[in-house]
A and B are shown apart, each in its own frame.
Chain A
Amino acid sequence: MGGLIKSSVAKKFAMALSGLFLVLFLAQHFTINLTSVIAPDVFNELSHFMGTNFLVQAILQPVLIFGVVFHFIMGFVLEIHNRKARAVNYVNYNGSANSSWMSRNMIYSGAVILAFLALHFYDFWVPELIHKYVQSHPEDPARYYTETVAKFESPVRTGLYVISFIFLMLHLLHGFASSFQSVGWNNKYSKGIQGFTKAYAIIIPLGFIFIALYHYINNL
């Protein structure tokens, strides 16, 4: 077991599984957010369900937080190990000759997403915890839409969200497809999967950008 934890292959396998889990979560998050544009009542209902359901709050939320924390810690652990593996750098290193910018800079796109998560938690998660557990307000199933839309009054916050989603796109463009390779999935279906992952990596962040800009413009 000790060997498995130390193994580079097992670490990448675990990194890929946590990444795939976060990709799934992203799809769910996007679907709920999209309803804030299409049907605010449905958005309120879904948000209320997510915020009060025992299974979501007591099991899925801790699993999600573990997945996020694990992905980031493992990302930094791997990066430190990778840097040690080349003690002396090249004077001339032509990385663009054989690999994409996204694949070589996952740590930087990941760090931007981590910073975004801090802002996102400050914007939504912390106020939600205070609302529910500190101020102990009674349940109000209709409050979520108004609270969410109000966050996008600020052009600075909206701009930061848009920039973060662009980095999310860059991260997913390499990471989503790469996770299949790490778990050993490279076969005749890989081309199709790669196409799907690229489409997902572009469409989902663009969708998030659209939602943020939609609410910002509506607030004008």
Chain B
Amino acid sequence: MKLTLKIWRQENANVKGKMVTYPIDGIEGDMSFLEMLDVLNEELINKGDQPVEFDHDCREGICGACSLQINGEPHGPDKLVTTCQLHMRSFKDGDTIVIEPFRAKAFPVVKDLIVDRGSFDRIQQAGGYVSVNTSGNTIDANSIPVNKHDADDSFAAATCIGCGACVAACKNASAMLFTSAKVSQYALLPQGQVEATERVQNMVRQMDIEGFGNCSNTGACEIECPKGISLENIARMNREYMSATSKG
């Protein structure tokens, strides 16, 4: 498969970047998108050029490290997959593929296609946890009855891998889907009730401090999310937030 790659190159956060075109040949349909970039980087290194920097870790679709805006969509054209699970059979011989970093003020470019998603960590640190007494009297979580429907919804919210595709897809670079998933996974469980009021307020406050946009309910985040996190979480977070705020 012969392809033309248009890739965002940027030396560091302080300089302007630009799109650079690379022709590439010998790409197999069974290669993953990241393996295709590995092939390109080998060629660049052999020529003495700087390889294209991109984030990756598990390459199994579970860690949330890989990102990339591919032909205008986060994680590319396939649904419910991360970039590492996107395969080149989704493209045709002769295609031009435009590859950019996830764009948001809160995700500054570090180099080339790598962005700093530390803003997600700070939102998580602001309240995405439950305090558990580990002094030796810890109650087994399974001894607390949980409604099956709530447990399933909580688990579904907890499958968010924090990749940032929701922010990248949103026309407003909003982080509502990520934040709401992290709020929901605890809001639905009895263990999360103790800190529920502060959690949602603190996480929303941190989300706003980071400079993410507002939710316009376009639904783009849900469609592009590799884990299928539902918009219901955003509605739940809105309810939780207004209820917490009314309590003071």
Contact = CB atoms under 8 A, between A and B. Distances in A.
B207 interface: yes
Contacts of A187: 232, 235
Nearest to A89: B103
Nearest to A184: B239
B191 interface: no
Given A6-B208, A9-B242, A92 B235 contact: no
Nearest to A177: B217
Contacts of A183: 238, 242
A94 interface: yes
Interface in B195-215: 201, 204-205, 207-208, 211-215
B241 interface: yes
B218 A103 contact: yes
Contacts of B204: 7-9
B56 interface: no
B103 A82 contact: no
Interface residues of B, number: 48
Contacts of B216: 82, 103-104, 106, 178
A186 interface: yes
A95 interface: yes
Contacts of A8: 174, 176, 204, 207-208, 212-215
A11 interface: yes
Given A97-B72, A99-B223, A91 B19 contact: yes
B100 A90 contact: yes
B171 A81 contact: no
B105 interface: yes
A3 interface: yes
A24 interface: no
B34 interface: no
Interface residues of A, number: 42
Given A8-B207, A186-B232, A85 B104 contact: yes
B242 A85 contact: no
A156 interface: no
Nearest to A102: B218
B235 to A, nearest CB: 3
Contacts of B211: 84-85
Nearest to B248: A1
B220 interface: yes
B15 to A, nearest CB: 13
Nearest to B180: A9
Nearest to A87: B105
A89 B106 CA distance: 13
Contacts of B220: 95, 98-99
Contact of B72 (A86, A90, A182): A90
B242 A184 contact: yes
Contacts of B224: 98
A11 B245 CA distance: 13
B208 A92 contact: no
Contact of B218 (A78, A100, A185): A100
8 contacts: A8-B214, A81-B213, A82-B213, A84-B213, A85-B173, A97-B223, A181-B238, A182-B215
Given A7-B208, A8-B176, 6 more contacts: A9-B237, A12-B238, A13-B242, A82-B173, A82-B216, A186-B236
The 6 closest A-B pairs by CB, nearest first: A94-B72, A184-B239, A85-B213, A186-B235, A82-B172, A99-B218
